[in-house]
Amino acid sequence: MKSFKFSPAVKYIILSTVFFALMNAGVKYIQHIPAYEIVFFRALVSLIVGYALIKREHLNPWGNNKPLLIYRGIAGTIALMLYFYTLQNMPLASAVTIQYLSPIFTILIAGIMLKEPARLIQWLFFAISFIGVVMIKGFDVRITVPGLVIGIASAFFSGIAYNFIRKLKDHDHHLVVVFYFPLVTVPTIGLYTLFNWVTPGMTDWLILFLIGLATTVAQIYMTKAYQIEKAANISNFNYLGIIYALLLGFFLFGELIGAPALLGISLIIIGVASSTKFDKLAR
């Protein structure tokens, strides 16, 4: 019997979800630091690390397709700012769950922007995963209507950013694409942060650095995944982040995992595994 192996793109996207989960926990942990300030420091760390990696590889940091790189940076900055807000104003699992609506927008936008519509059966697997998302979220009175709108908007802009990453695959190295994200974010958020400064404590400084580092690693793996594989074939794997959020929420913040959430986790795993298996058979 042949053993089942993930493709390189799937491995990359799974690794990215792990590091994004660590970022989520860090943002949630320092709720007393404003979201815009965390976004700024996250971007600053990514900018420094990203530039160092680019120089090591002897790449042109300014890229080839500057308009697309800037559009990707703008979309990513908006998505990140809105997402960090929801992380700090909702339970961790709920905020992450709403953010993981982004695969819906990613696939819909990819059909228009990249001419990469999902196969019909992939929509079925996607629906199974989405039902799991709904079951995990459940009904939470702590989520306000404005908060929900902000979360959905974050998912929408994430979907746009992911498609720009895919569109840049034939133009720029993945490290350059990653570098442009903080290159846009730092000057955009930096001025506002300067005039609305909240001084972090000693532990906060460490967590801010780790948030930036974890996000940089996550961005590198995510970008590589979207540049070597169709968006429809890997977007479902973003749902794994919900599982991590539930576990981290339970162990770090005391958020209980009920039976509906466990069933939802099972549906997500079924949807992701089925989509991957179908994609390998279809190749």
pLDDT tens-digit profile of 65-124? 999 999 999 999 999 999 999 999 988 988 888 887 787 788 778 888 888 777 788 788
63 Cβ contact partners less than 8 Å away, ≥ 6 residues apart = 69, 171, 172, 176, 177, 180
Residues in the chain where the model's pLDDT stays below 70: 1-4, 136-141, 257, 275-283
Q: How far apart are the first and last CA of the chain?
A: 19
| H runs (alpha helix) in 30-90 | 35-56, 66-89
pTM for this prediction: 0.82
Predicted confidence at residue 278, as pLDDT, reads 67
CB 215 within 8 A of CB 27: no
